[in-house]
Each structure stands twice: as C-alpha cells, then as structure tokens.
Structure 1
C-alpha cells in the first residue's frame, strides 16, 4: 500500500522560488554588477568667488590584480574626462603582482597632478575572510599576511605620475592654474593615522588666503573626520567602505561599512559636522573588491568626478 506524501506543495514551491532568487542574485552580483562601472558626478561650491572650476577625479579601492583587464581599461578610459586633479584614497593593490595591472590603469594620467594615501592593501595582500564577520564590526588584522612592494607602488605614484604622498603628511600642488593644499593620514582602519602631527603640518601650509584645503583619508573613521573638520578642511575624500559592497537595492544605507561612519554615509556625497563647521564629505564606493569576495550587489563599482566651483 502506497503511503500518501506528507510534503506541502506550497512550501516546496516557496523553497524553490527562494533558491531561484538566491541563485539569480549570485549570478548578477558575481557575474554582472561587479563589472558595471559608473561615474558619480557632484558639484562642490567651495572655491573663492569668481574662481574657475577645478575638476577632481576621485579614485579608490581598485584592489588590482594583474588579470583584471576590463577594470584596467575602464579606469584608463577615465582620462577622457580630462580631470584637473586626481585624489586617490588607497587600496590600489589586490595581489602581489597588482602593480603591473595598476600601471596599465593609471599610465594615461601621467602629467595630471594628484594626491594619494594608503589603505592596508597597499602594504599587505588580501586573505580569505568570512564575509559574515563584517556584521560583527570592523575587520581585524590577520596575524600572517603576504607583504606587498609598497616602495615600488609609492615610487610609481610619486616619480612616474608625480602625485603627492599625504600619508600623515601635507602638501600643495597646482591644478587648473590655482594652488590646492591638502593633508591626509595613512590607513586609520589599521591605526596608522597620526592625527597628532597634522596641526603643525597644516599650519605650515596656510600662508595664503582663499587656497582650498582638502582632507584625504582611506578609512572614514569619525575621529579622523572630526579632526579634519577642526583643521579647516574645505572638503574630505575617503574610500575603504566599498559602499557596503552588498546592499539592499533602493536602501539609502549600507548594511556594513567596516568602520564607524554612519551607514547612510558609507557611499557618495554627504556632509560632516564638527566644532561648528559643516563640510562636504565624499566617500567612494570604490572600483574593486577583494579577490576572495568577487561580488557587488546593489552597489556598482565607481569613480567620482567632483567639480569644485565658486561659492555663491
């Protein structure tokens, strides 16, 4: 005698539907969206009255591996935007041989002035991680990492491209016919930021009025943003968060940020207030991802083009 089935057809149908949605999301995030690069455009009215605009290309978190030729070509093509200035907020490398791919991506920007800071992946290669750990708080330093050739990276950025190193440092350059001052810190996520040295460095820059002052950091921790605001930055540039990398489509906030910035400020242009000042803050969702987490969902890889214009 055949025993009647106890399976619930509705439950089986629902389970199959959930599985199909999950599979479709994985195909989209791994196979499609992580290659859908985009440019976010913003206007920042922070220059003195009567100034001509300055176009800043903000690049971050390329996490470059040598085989990522589509990413390399797309970044190289951004030179057609004709930026006046590059701001690079770190994590350029994602592999021990990543500099070879990075050269292919950035060589077209020779002759365009720029500033840069480090992320941890400019010093150490990525390692496998459980992505669910990010929901428990910012990631921890792994005990054993494969070192990268940071001196070769810095030599390329400073000597070949002519960019200014802002790792716990300050500097000036000329872009679009005007002077731009900037200061920055090394990766605050690893505790490499030396906020204590910045006041004297910034004071040494402020010898002229109406020179825009930019603050540059890889990881936008609150302590860093507060000090940048107090030191008189006219705008802050950051990366590190990947915009959450996996987001609920349409949600204004990321699920995680891997630092203590508010989740609704983990991507894009917003403002930061401290000590009676409110200034623009641009957090790039970045161009890449770890080779051990090749996915983007609801968060396309990006570069930012910000036009500095005259104040009203």
Structure 2
C-alpha cells in the first residue's frame, strides 16, 4: 500500500481550502452582482389576442447602499414593458423604501401589480443554512419593516396591490383578471377571500403569490387562472452544475425553482429567481440575480376534455 506523505496531505488540504475560498469570493463578490435580464415566451393569452410584454421582478432585498443594483433596476424602464409585476421581498432594511422607489423609477409610471413577501414585513435575521433543508423549521422574525410606506409609494403611483383582492384591468387592449394572496411562507395566505372563477370575459387571468406553495398554486389552477407568478426561491441561490438547486425553500419541486413550468392541465407558472439575497447570506452560485421579460402570446386551442386529463385533480395532473 503506497504511503502518502504528510506534505502531500497538507498540499491537498490547502488546495481544497483555496478552492473553497475562491468559490465563496466569486459567489459573494461577483455573481451576486452579475445582474441579468432573462426573456421567455409563454402561450397563455386567449386565441386571437395580441402579445403582451410583462416585466417580472422579485426579491430585491434592497439595502440602502446597493448602488449597483439600484442603477441596474433603473435601466429596466428602457424595455418599455406593458405591465410590471412585483412578487415581493423588496426590503432588507428600515431605510430601504426610498432606495426601492428611486430604483424602480419610471417603472412605477407603468401599469403594475404587486404582492408582498416576508422580507417586506420583517427584516432578515442570521440563520443556520441547514434550516433551509427543513421545510418545517421554526420561523424567527426580525424587526418590523416599513411595508406600509412601500405600499403607499406603490399605490400612489398607480400600481395595484393584489393582497387578497381581485381586480380587473385593461393593458394594451388586453383585458386582464387578477387576484393575489399574502405570503404563504408566513402562513398569511387566505385564498378563500379571492376564491372563484375569474371574469370569463378576460383575455388573460393572472394570479400572484410571493412563495409558490402548492396549496396556493392548486387553488389558482382549479379556479382557471392562465398564469401564476411567484418569487421567493432565489432560483435555489446555490446551484451545483449537473445537479441543480439544492433547495427551493418552499413546497415546489426543484425542477420548478425558477422560470416557466406547467402546473396542472391549463395553468402556467413563472417563478422569478429574483435580484437579491439576504444580507446575512450574500452569495449566489451558478444562479445569477435576474429580472425576466415575459412575452405573453396566444395559447393554442385546447384539446377536447376527453383527451386533456379531465377528471384529474391538479395534484394528480402534475404528478402524471
């Protein structure tokens, strides 16, 4: 049996430590500030409808001094989206509201919809990373954040708060029926307040939630929503090449941790990987911070019910 020298072991340990330090440095200093705009096309509109450009932003986790993120956000208005959707976790600090409002800039003058997440209500706190692997771990809440000030800033500029309300609007000639719930991650969702089929005259039906919990997604799908939009997952935040996200931090499976996917027979889901991180976990790996420009187009005609899985529950259809 060959003898491994002490010096060889030392070199191996030091090399592994160096790789780990370099990885942490890259994840915390480079990738978490490497913002990217992703684009996707989703066939969710009624046949014959013209397309609609929707900018989905989420999980800003804004700190007052994050100038690079604020400048990148300001430039998104150049995309001239028809509609802006914000799915929460905008704040991370008591003094973050002005930074968020100024960063969103011209986007606040465009039609917009929003719901809030846990880090709009409470400041983030240090957390053992192992807790992310236990969905039932005890929640620890930080200091209350000024979410009412943020809500006032959004609504005064015309954005619609969808927290436990249903609203109809028209954007670029597209009639949209919308509804939203408060953050399921905090068990604040009360879907019964918005339950029922949306306006049948609408060209598009959108549901909003911060955390994409299956119990909420199922209800939106059962009520006939075409598209549900969510955030919260950070796309996994740490992604291993060849394996994928380590966790979703909610009830959905890892294949849906970010981007478009199907939920049930007729509902599309879009999960944003978000633009920020907790200040106590300031790193991303193989999961760049992002906003998404969705181009919504007409869906193909549905197949007859006999061929579409009619009679299955949403959960059964997802598992099929």
Q: Partner of 1:3 in structure 2?
A: none
**What's the RMSD between the two structures over aligned residues?**
1.7
Deviation, structure 1 residue 174: 2.0
Deviation, structure 1 residue 286: 0.5
8 Å CA contact 1:235–1:281 kept in 2: the answer is yes
TM-score (norm 2): 0.89
Give distance in 1, aligned partners of 2:137 and 2:163.
21
Give distance in 1, aligned partners of 2:26 and 2:233.
21
Q: Partner of 1:67 in structure 2?
A: 65
Deviation, structure 1 residue 263: 1.3
* Corresponding position: 1:212 with 2:204: yes
Deviation, structure 1 residue 264: 1.6
> Partner of 1:259: helix, strand, or coil?
coil
Unaligned runs of 5+ in 1: 1-5
Q: Partner of 2:163 in structure 1?
A: 167
Deviation, structure 1 residue 192: 0.3
Unaligned runs of 5+ in 2: 301-320
8 Å CA contact 1:47–1:210 kept in 2: the answer is no
TM-score (norm 1): 0.91
1:236 aligned to which of 210, 221, 228: 228
CA deviations on 1:50-89 (whole Å, 9 max, x unpaired) are 2211000000000111101110111111111110001110
8 Å CA contact 2:224–2:267 kept in 1: the answer is no
Deviation, structure 1 residue 177: 2.2
2:52 aligned to which of 54, 61, 78: 54
Give distance in 2, aligned partners of 1:110 and 1:226.
31
Q: Which range moves more in the overlay, 220-229 or 6-15?
A: 6-15
Deviation, structure 1 residue 136: 2.4
1:222 aligned to which of 198, 214, 217: 214
2:6 aligned to which of 8, 17, 25: 8
Alignment CA distance shift 1:119-1:139 (3 Å): farther
8 Å CA contact 2:49–2:174 kept in 1: the answer is no
Give distance in 1, aligned partners of 2:71 and 2:156.
22
Runs of 4+ that moved beyond 6 A: none
Q: Partner of 1:149 in structure 2?
A: 146
* Corresponding position: 1:186 with 2:182: yes
> Partner of 1:33: helix, strand, or coil?
helix
8 Å CA contact 1:241–1:258 kept in 2: the answer is yes
Q: Partner of 1:282 in structure 2?
A: 270
CA deviations on 1:33-60 (whole Å, 9 max, x unpaired) are 0001111111111222222110000000
Q: Which range moves more in the overlay, 128-137 or 235-244?
A: 128-137
Give distance in 2, aligned partners of 1:85 and 1:278.
22
Q: Partner of 1:293 in structure 2?
A: 281
> Partner of 2:245: helix, strand, or coil?
coil
Q: Partner of 2:172 in structure 1?
A: 176
8 Å CA contact 1:85–1:112 kept in 2: the answer is yes
> Partner of 1:32: helix, strand, or coil?
helix
Give distance in 2, aligned partners of 1:262 and 1:111.
36
